Amino acid sequence: MAMRKVYFILGIHNHQPVGNFPEVFEKAYQDAYLPFIKAMERHPRIKWSLHSTGILWEYIADKHPEYLNIVRAMVKTGQVELMTGGYYEPIMPAIPDRDKKGQIEKLTHFLKKTFGYAARGMWLAERVWEPSLAKALADAGVTYTVVDDAHFAAAGCDVDKLRGYYVTEEQGVPLNIFPISQRLRYAIPFQTVETTIEYMGSVARDGGSPALVMADDGEKFGLWPETFKHVYQDGWLERFLNALEQNLDWIEPVTFSEYLRLAPPEGRVYLPTASYFEMSEWSLPEDAQEAFEGIVRQFENRTDVKRFLRGGFWRNFLTKYDESNNMHKKMLRVSGKIDELRHRKKGAKAVPAAVLAAATDALYASECNCASWHGVFGGLYLPHLRTAVYRQMIEAERIYASAADVKPRWRRTDFDYDGRPEVLFECKGQNLYITPHRGGALFEWDILHKGVNLLNVLTRRKEAYHQRLREFVANPRAAASGVKTIHDLIKVKEQNLDQYLHYDWYRRASLIDHFIHPATQYDDFRRAQFGEQGDFVLGNYTPAVEGKKLVLKRDGVVWDNQSPFSVTVTKEITPAASGLKVSYTLTNRQRHGIDIVFAPEFAFAFSYMLDGENGVFENRRQWSRKDEIFSIQLEMRFSAPVTLWVFPLETVSLSESGFERTYQGTVVLPVYPVHIPARGGVRLDVILTVD
């Protein structure tokens, strides 16, 4: 059969998260972004499409303006097309429509101002698609976007026959959609150049004038482990570009926009809620993820079956991880506050444009998706990314609190959208978020002028890949060498990581009320393998606001030698100018005295662990910790002498560079053995001050 022309669309997406370290930005530039564009500069006949996020464009413009000059030259000759998107790479379906439009228009304006280019195509962050997006994107000036062929498979399409682009609509508003070939995404740059060219040839022999799309992360060309040597030093990219040039008689590289002008759509399509295939695995709960991965392996070579396999979708992360949901729901709350500033009631003092712009940009920066989920990249498990997200949200909130002249008050609202109200205290200095129905815990404590959530810690959870770690530790030689995709690579950053696999049975927060077995030791509690004798940790507390303080009360049970004892815990939370006071009253409702060990847990998200900080500290009335990076000092004072158990909260997670142990915060546990007389009570005050 005669060879027909194949149109090849190469799309590159470059991004670094809000809050990532400057040295990571620089390494990505030197190892991936710069060598890639220099290679493309040497091959002017190879057209391609480029998307970089606003935060990355800002870094490059500041540190490496020479890169912008190369892009300008390519734009002028038509070699490169620039794509817009969310300025700070948000998951589009997860943010309000007003923010979708604002984020896209911000990046579109930047590209027009910087390069004189009117971008109409859009990179969709993590290719997270929901049908309602078609109208929202089109309303922001977008004419096409790009998703994975897995999205089309979920709609019943045969991915082996996908070519070109398709049209969808929402409420009669159309949008063009290109499918990315997973086969090409996995082949480039990990398989031989000959394999990729032969695949294109097989498509060309099928007839017609098909377009094949390979659009993926630019970091895979040099930044991912082992790829710099493979792509540049060993010459994979140069060989690939040479091969394209040697076959220009039947392979024609084009941009997305160029192909839209060259060819009509292949047809109409309605895609279900979806993301790329790996994301559908990662977003499932751990047990379901393990089961799903087993099914995928079972049918790895059965394309007729695999095309119908689907896991979860991105929003599942909001149920899988409370911490992810916390950031998301706070973002929605802050977005509403900033929108309130934009549309102030008649007669209210107008907010200066510069102030509103600063608050809006901080909000947009907080919508960066990278800290909100977890798969093969560190994501949610990286404290510095979560810290950066909170810093931006809190900064927007600080501007709002000042502009709106917020008065201190407690209010009940369903903050996390679980159908049950939380109790929030908000003022110009700090926020305190309490969940009465889950142990009366304090789960967020924002210091507004520092932009810090002091409770930004992470619960230790079992992850599906932990089994792979155990298998690797047992047999390291089983991990084959060679260049692999980021999804298959197995490395460990330190020995015996499996010894740190401890799992919590409750969400880590503060004011968690434990009654622990007297025989419990420091290491038992640290490993979450201790005897809990009360029903207060996950229990429901009744809240009541009394003046400036919140009173939480629970009539519960404490067991001792298989016998239940009726105990009431009352904790009063009183905000102060620079902290809060917590007053605990433990009341014995029995007709005889009881001996118990009360231990209210506190977990703080410091930026690092001090040497010698962890351990057992006897007979203490005070504990303090200075964090140089956050520029804060936290002090705890106790009304009675207590024993303190202090230990790091550490997780074992998977990132692009391998399995790693990560410090997530410091747990401080006052251990308070007490005798409560019959029908009597004892009191313990804890004063927390932030300097």
Question: In terms of Cα–Cα distance, which of 394, 405, 445 is closest to 579?
Answer: 445
3-state secondary structure 257-271: HHHHHHCCCCCECCC
How many whole angstroms separate alpha carbon 526 and alpha carbon 191?
45
Rounded-to-5 percentages of helix, strand, coil across the chain: 35, 30, 35
Transcribe 278-318 into DSSP letters: HHHHHTS-HHHHHHHHHHHHHTTT-HHHHTT-----GGGHH
The rounded distance, in Å, linking the Cα atoms of 482 and 493 is 18
Task: Please give the DSSP secondary-structure letter assigned to residue 29.
Answer: I
CA 128 to centroid of chain Cα atoms? 13
Return the closest-CA partner of residue 514 out of 651, 672, 646, 621.
Answer: 672
Q: What is the DSSP letter of 274?
A: B
What DSSP character marks residue 44? T
528/546 Cα distance (integer angstroms): 35
Is 217 a residue of the active site?
yes
Grouping H, G, I as helix, E, B as strand and the rest as coil, residue 647 is strand
Strand partners, 568: 555, 587
Cβ count near 469 (within 10 Å) = 20
The residue from 97, 105, 139, 217 that is catalytic is 217
- Size of the chain, expressed as the number of residues it contains: 691
Question: What are the structure tokens assigned to 476, written together?
Answer: 């390291």
| Contact criterion met (CB below 8 Å) for 183 and 191 | no
Q: What is the CA radius of gyration of the chain?
A: 28
Cα–chain center distance at 429: 27
Residue 63 dihedral angles phi and psi, to the nearest 5°: -100, -30
Give the count of beta carbons closer than 10 Å to the beta carbon of residue 660.
18
Please identify which of the residues 99, 126, 130, 601 carries the catalytic annotation. Answer: 126
**Backbone phi, then psi, for 295, in 5-degree steps?**
-65, -40
| Known active-site residue 126 | yes
Q: Which of 210, 252, 198, 275 is nearest to 48 (CA)?
A: 252
Residue 81: HSE in the Cβ half-sphere, 13 Å Cα cutoff = 24
Rounded CA-CA distance 50/94 in Å is 24
Tell me, what DSSP letter sits at residue 33? I
Q: Which residues, listed in sequence order, are joined to residue 602 by a DSSP beta bridge?
A: 668
254 phi and psi angles, rounded to 5 deg: -140, 165
The two beta strands, 681-690 and 658-676, are unpaired
Provide the β-strand partners of residue 627.
632
Cβ atoms < 10 Å from Cβ of 330: 23
Say if CB 590 and CB 563 are below 8 A apart.
Answer: no
What is the C-alpha separation between 163 and 180, in angstroms, rounded?
9
Q: Among all residues, which ones are annotated catalytic?
A: 126, 217
